[in-house]
Amino acid sequence: MAAAAEQKSSPLSKSVFTELYTSGISVACANTATNPLDVVKVRLQLARNQLATGQKPPGMVATGLGVIKNEGVLALWSGLGPSLARGIFFGGARLGLYTPIKFLICGDNAKPSFEMKVLSGSLSGGLAAAVTSPIELIKTRLQAAGKDPNAQKSSMGVIRAVVAADGVAGLWKGAMPGLIRSAILTAAQCATYDEVKRVVRQTTGWGDGVSLHLSSSMIAGLVTTTITNPIDVIKTRMFVGGKTYSGPIACAAHVMKSDGLIGFMKGWSASYARLGPHTVIMFLTAERLRKYAGLQSL
């Protein structure tokens, strides 16, 4: 009986590591491909603070061209090192823990409800963000630096500056909105992809292939961007603003006062331009790697 129990638990314990590394590689690939759009998104969200009152911030294309003109093409890959580290560790945990957590909550043979998928995504996303928030802070500050002579240009430079100003705890500045965003992002992304794929498969009769994965991931990217953009705006301002805001609520109040509700959608087009392709690349790569690794489809 003990042997039977060991045999039953073995597949899950052995698959967790495979889940983590296949997910980490998938997210790292997506991060590399979409890093330029991530830089543009950060610059757009910070544009209002860098312009004179009443001056209209540039659009996504103009912002990207401005970065290339003023800083060179490689500036579009600012923060790529932390982004890859974050993709491997944060992305690996965020996506890689989704299926094991769903298994623990629902059991091996159960058909999880949409609510259980949302809960699984929230837990995996929250856990991943709590551990890797300092990497996100470093990446965001490097991407926002531009040609500011006072800004740090390396990961270690950012770490030293943050610790000197705020102590070690400063590396977790903005961690709460980041944690909330990660929980919501993973819930929206994974649960939507999981559920849409089920519905599309039933409706069209498609097998588990590229057409199913592509259509499901495109819808998941649209839903995820709309849901997470307000939190992303707050998180970015807190990461870059340091002690300017006492907390996420104060930051949200400032956005509401200065920009109104539309301020929470600042950079939406850039966010979707990144998160849409990012979601597609991530899930298509993950599904292919899972197949090679002998894991079930997401």
CATH classification of the domain holding 238: 1.50.40.10
On the question of pLDDT at 2 being above 80, the answer is no
Q: Which residues contact 141 (CB under 8 A, 6 or more apart)?
A: 151, 152, 158, 239, 240
25-39, 135-149, 264-278: least confident range: 135-149
**Position 241 in a domain:** yes
Residues of the chain with pLDDT > 90, as a percent, come to 31
C-alpha closest to that of 218 among 152, 288, 166, 275: 275
Which residue reads 């489809």 in tokens?
297
**Position 298 in a domain:** no
C-alpha closest to that of 203 among 219, 189, 225: 219
On the question of pLDDT at 189 being above 80, the answer is yes
**Position 215 in a domain:** yes
**Position 2 in a domain:** no
Summarize pLDDT for 102-117 with one digit per residue, the tens. Answer: 988 887 666 888 999 9
Give residue 14's pLDDT. 58
Q: Which residues contact 80 (CB under 8 A, 6 or more apart)?
A: 31, 32, 35
Range of the domain at 188: 13-293
101-110, 125-134, 154-163, 188-197: least confident range: 101-110
Q: Give the span between the Cα atoms of 232 and 269, in whole angstroms.
A: 13
**Position 194 in a domain:** yes
Q: Which has more pLDDT, 58 or 84? A: 84
Give residue 122's pLDDT. 95
On the question of pLDDT at 202 being above 60, the answer is yes
Q: Which has more pLDDT, 54 or 194? A: 194
CB 86 within 8 A of CB 139: yes
For residue 267, the SS3 value is coil
**Position 8 in a domain:** no
**Position 6 in a domain:** no
Residues of the chain with pLDDT > 70, as a percent, come to 89
What DSSP character marks residue 172? G
Q: Which has more pLDDT, 102 or 178? A: 102
CB 94 within 8 A of CB 124: yes
C-alpha closest to that of 141 among 130, 157, 129, 127: 157
Q: What is the mean pLDDT of the chain?
A: 84
The residue length of the chain stands at 298
On the question of pLDDT at 56 being above 90, the answer is no
**Position 5 in a domain:** no
What DSSP character marks residue 297? P
Indicate the burial class of 153 (C-beta count within 10 angstroms; 0-12, 13-18, 19 or more): exposed
The pTM (predicted TM-score) of the whole model is 0.73
Give residue 54's pLDDT. 62
Which residue reads 């390396």 in tokens?
154
Alpha helix positions (H), the chain: 2-50, 60-71, 80-86, 92-96, 98-106, 114-145, 155-166, 175-186, 192-204, 210-241, 248-259, 268-293
On the question of pLDDT at 5 being above 50, the answer is no
Q: What is the number of domains present in the chain?
A: 1
Summarize pLDDT for 251-260 with one digit per residue, the tens. Answer: 899 899 988 9
